[in-house]
Amino acid sequence: MAGRHDIRSLQPSPAPNEYNTRQMTNKGRDVAPARTMAGRARARRPEVTPAPGEYAVDVRALAAASPRYTFGQRLDARRASSAPAPNSYTVRERLGDAPRYTIQGRGRDRSDERASFPAPGQYDSGRVSACQPRSPAFSLRQRTVPPSDHSQKPGPAAYTLQDAAVARRPPQFSFGLKHSPYLGKFRSTSKEDVTVIK
């Protein structure tokens, strides 16, 4: 058992029940936002960093430099060369003379034995039917005399095709009993015709 410690000094912070929580919610104070009018803030000092266009990028260190052209005065003409032109050389002939042709008038046709033979269209084919079947032959003649019978004749629509026996007749059916006239007569149901057996 030890002695009681000294009481610590009271803290100046307010107690929990001293806070004003009338308009407080879980998201803050339940009041409309309040704006205050104030003077314009001081502008920031300009930065001393260079702009993107101020960098000096050496492109030649990455790729080959592209050709550059300048406009200037015309340079002095070079001195004429003493070398001969390509067509000034005299090439010695290494081969013999090539054949040379001249254009003249048309000469006289030479007589050829093949010209004395007849052409394919000059042969007489003769009778083709002697070795092959004869093809049909047609002749043109004058118009025949029309018939002198001027009687009235039925047209195509005047015929009755239903009565013509073109095909087998289909079966025909009727409702009811058909009796032969040679069988017995029907039994009468009247009292006069009924015979009573005693």
The Cα 132–Cα 126 span in angstroms is 12
114-138 residue pLDDT tens: 667 777 878 777 777 777 777 777 8
The Cα 2–Cα 32 span in angstroms is 58
- Type of residue at 4: R
The Cα 41–Cα 44 span in angstroms is 9
Tokens at 180, concatenated: 């032969």
pTM for the model stands at 0.14
The Cα 72–Cα 74 span in angstroms is 7
The Cα 129–Cα 181 span in angstroms is 77
The Cα 128–Cα 134 span in angstroms is 8
Average pLDDT, the chain: 74
Which neighbouring-strand residues pair with 28? 25
Whole-angstrom Cα Rg for the chain: 69
In this structure, the chain runs to a length of 198
What percent of the chain is modeled with pLDDT above 90?
Answer: 0
CA distances from 92 to 34, 58, 89, 96 (A): 111, 60, 9, 11
Q: How far is CA 41 from the centre of its chain?
A: 68
45-71 residue pLDDT tens: 777 788 888 877 776 666 677 778 888
Roughly how many angstroms between the first and final C-alpha of the chain, as a whole number? 151
Report the pLDDT value the prediction gives residue 83, as an integer from 0 to 100.
84
Res. 33 pLDDT band, cuts 50 70 90: confident
When comparing pLDDT for 154 and 29, which is higher?
154
Report the pLDDT value the prediction gives residue 198, as an integer from 0 to 100.
47
CA distances from 16 to 20, 66, 121 (A): 10, 78, 137
Q: How far is CA 121 from the centre of its chain?
A: 55
Contact 180, 186 (CB under 8 A): no
Q: Which residues, including other chains, have CB under 8 Å from residue 188's CB and lie 6 or more apart?
A: 194
Report the pLDDT value the prediction gives residue 143, as an integer from 0 to 100.
78
The Cα 177–Cα 186 span in angstroms is 13
